[in-house]
Amino acid sequence: MQQYDKARIDALRERALKPAVSYDEFYGFFNAAFLEHSGNPSFKRRLAEAVKEAYSRWTADIEPGELIVGRPASSPHSPEDEERIRRGNEAARFSHCAVGQDSHMAVDYPRLLNLGTSGIRALIDGYLADLDPDDPLSVRKEDFYLAAKTCLEGVEILADRYADRALSMAAAESDPRQKAEYEEIARVCRRVPRNPAETFREAVQSAAFVTYALSVKPLRPSMLQFQLGHPDRWLLPFYERDRAAGILTDEEAQTLVDCLCVQINRRVPNGLSCGLMVGGSLPDGSTVSNPLTRMFLEAIRQVSLVYPSVGLCVTDATPEADLELALEILAEGHSHPALFGDATIRRGLRHYGLTEEEAAEYIHSTCVEITPVGCSNVWVASPYMNLPGELLAVFPADDEDAPADMEEFIGRYFAHIAARIRENCRRESLNRYERAKYCADPLLSCFVRDCLERGLDIEEGGARYNWIMPSFVGAANAADALYAIRTLVYENHEVTFADWKQALDTDYAEDPLLLARIRALPKYGSDDRDPSSPDAYVKRIAEFLAAECEKHRVPLTDGDDGRPSRLIPSLFCWIMHDHFGRATGATPDGRRAGFPLGDGSGPAQGREAKGPTASVLSSTSWEHWPFIGGVAVNMKFSKSLFTADSLPVMKSIVKTYLTRGGFELQINVTDRETLERARICPAEYEDLVVRIGGYSDYFTRLSSTMQEEVILRTEHEI
């Protein structure tokens, strides 16, 4: 293979468009083995033995054309295995710990590629040898280390089984080219992840394979979505070495990159967000830009699936060619890459205690939530909070209970939110304790600093950073509502709280004039510099949320050296703006009952009345850097009106947003007509991907309310 293999990628893409992602097979084998090992007094080692046995039975499935392997099986199992899976899942009545989050991270890929799993086992042997028998924690640490080694052995067995499967397929293959591909897969899987990677292909396969092995969570079955970190950094030494040796062309590298990206869609179910970041800056401040940066951007248009979710981290020195390539891809109608403000994110990470080196290595851990690479176990969006819904909770039912002025109203609202933040922080603290009691993940712990160094499982607080990130949804709706209340109740005396409450309870059906009056008021997104404008209210809400979260710390477990976790705010929504919207009645900003809340941190849908520049200026009129939990600003441009002059204008808008401290910008370039046709003829638009509230999804698979919400977003013309 010397050229880019488009036919191969197109065939793999077609199979990945409708994947059947199921991990039932693994969990069936694991559950059966876990119950069979019930006599083992060590919980962690019992778990590890069951993981190893499940890996030794998990189907090694390879399809023609795959160069990077490791995904749930698409082929049928033997009747014996089917029965064992059924019995294992049926018998698994033990309690799973359902609280908390998983996989919102990128693991330490350099450790894997430089050491291999055998090298990590040797590292563990060194820690075991150094244990002090007089240390009261030595027994616990030994138990953890032995469990981790067992899990690593299981991964090696699984890789060997893929090698065996590839060899058996090669033996039965008559096509010389396909036979050679199977033999090469066998060679690579025999070497990695057991050994350090030596070539670009081995590095890609090792990372992909371990990520796949981590995609199951013993005792806590859930949909996992580990990110790939910054592959244009950790793959670069292998790429440069192979290119210098003349054993890799750029076309071959691009094909392998695309195979890796397609494979994510065979590993992660739809509706989540899984991907990687490129660009950004190194600890010394130098900007990352290399051929791999551009290859992973090119993979977006060539793979053209919902995954990977690619983020381009933009610095002041990001080459114009890189940014222009990203915008060209977006202009073609792709929903990636998202554009992240590197300086803003690094400032926030330094504020929360990271070193310069750590702050340079971050990942959008699913949608836009930023977590430190290779050293964190962060619970994102824990929980989501409905800001307009909380405003309704303090909205007076009658005028006798009404606050005397607007400041008193805001005081009640903020006090109510503060109490909810405090309550949620306490609940998440208890959830941490609950997880530590009933869960363990010794395999994941091998790839997250400082678990091995401290001899402490990731579920017990072994990671260096264990933040909790609550996310606040509907800030734009809340700000527009506060402005409407100040104007109509306290300034103009046009309506009483009692009458407004009745209108809200009837979804404005009995007072359409009030609804029309509210909708005619200024809204967030108009670049209004007045200190009492909707823009000013968003700024005030953001400052309050950041200050309130700063007050709290989340204790972990008894074994965490007493290091508290931070409570770090977010202003993004994933799909929660739709869920909250369906459950929330009419709100004082003129939003009707059941309609989605604002889809991010920009203006609410359809309220960007003064165009994209005003929208960008409003969206950056407040500080984003404290919201390391994620800030998502969505913009939609009309594809049908794009001209040769459109890209420079878009680039200017993006640069303005990022220069002013913008955190992340998501751009959809489509048109209403295409979306409307997709609603009518979904079979013709199965691969139409749109950006939602921090993640992307296939438009035709969205709920009807989400489809309507996407269509009603303001479509800018440039």
How far apart are alpha carbons 8 and 254 in whole angstroms?
12
Mean pLDDT, to the nearest integer, of 543-560?
83
Distances (CA, A) of 458 to 305, 450, 484, 536, 668: 32, 9, 47, 41, 37
Residue type at 356?
E
The pLDDT confidence band at residue 76, using thresholds 50, 70 and 90, is low
Q: What is the pLDDT of residue 716?
A: 65
Residue 86 above 80 pLDDT? no
- Percent of the chain at pLDDT exceeding 70: 94
Number of helices and strands (H, E) in the chain? 28, 14
**What pLDDT does 91 receive?**
58
**Across residues 112-127, what is the average pLDDT?**
98
Q: Which of 440-449, 601-610, 700-709 has the highest mean pLDDT?
A: 440-449
Average pLDDT over every residue of 464-485: 97
Express each pLDDT in 598-649 by its tens digit: 988 999 988 887 888 999 999 999 999 999 999 999 888 888 777 778 899 9
> Which carries the bigger pLDDT value, residue 452 or residue 38?
452
- pLDDT score at 557: 55
Give Rg (Cα) of the chain: 26
**What are phi and psi for residue 469, nearest 5 degrees?**
-125, 90
Assess whether pLDDT exceeds 60 at residue 94: no
Q: Does residue 563 register a pLDDT over 80?
A: no
pLDDT exceeds cutoff 50 at 543: yes
Region 83-96 average pLDDT: 60
**pLDDT tens for each residue of 193-217:** 999 999 999 999 999 999 999 999 9
Chain centroid to CA 529: how far? Answer: 34
In the three-class reduction of DSSP (H, G, I as helix; E, B as strand; rest coil), residue 133 is classed as coil
Q: What is the mean pLDDT of residues 544-549?
A: 98
DSSP 8-state code for residue 458: G
What is the 8-class DSSP label of residue 376?
B
The count of other CB atoms within 10 Å of the CB of residue 680 is 8
| DSSP H/E element including 278 | strand 275-279
C-alpha distances out from residue 358 to 109, 281, 374, 517, Å = 15, 11, 9, 50
What's the confidence (pLDDT) of residue 561? 56
Number of residues assigned to the chain? 718
CB atoms within 10 A of CB 98: 11
Q: What does 473-516 look like in DSSP terms, one character per residue? A: E-HHHHHHHHHHHIIIIIIS--S-HHHHHHHHHTTTTT-HHHHH
What mean pLDDT, rounded, does the chain reach?
93
What's the pLDDT at 706?
83
DSSP state of 76: P
The two beta strands, 565-566 and 553-554, are: antiparallel
CB atoms within 10 A of CB 3: 10
- 263-268 mean pLDDT: 95
Answer for the pair 44, 440: CB distance below 8 angstroms, yes or no.
Answer: yes
What single letter denotes the amino acid at residue 373? V
Amino acid found at 134: D
Spell out a b/e string for 154-193, using b for 16 or more CB atoms within 10 Å of the CB, else e: bbbbbbbbbbebbbebbeebeeeeeeebbbebbebbbbbb
DSSP 574: B
CA dist., res. 686 & res. 692, Å (int): 16
For residue 667, the cross-strand partners are: 635
What are the domain boundaries of the chain?
A: 10-89+97-216, 253-366+632-718, 379-611
* Percent with pLDDT over 90 in the chain: 78
Structure tokens at 357: 């080196």
Distances in Å between the Cα of 381 and the Cα atoms of 426, 570, 629, 640 are 15, 7, 8, 36
Sign, CA torsion 360/365/366/368? negative
Alpha-carbon gap, residue 47 to 442, rounded angstroms: 9
Predicted local distance difference test score (pLDDT) of residue 558: 46
Q: Are 706 and 692 in contact (CB under 8 A)?
A: yes
pLDDT tens, position by position, 385-415:
999 999 999 999 999 999 999 999 999 999 9
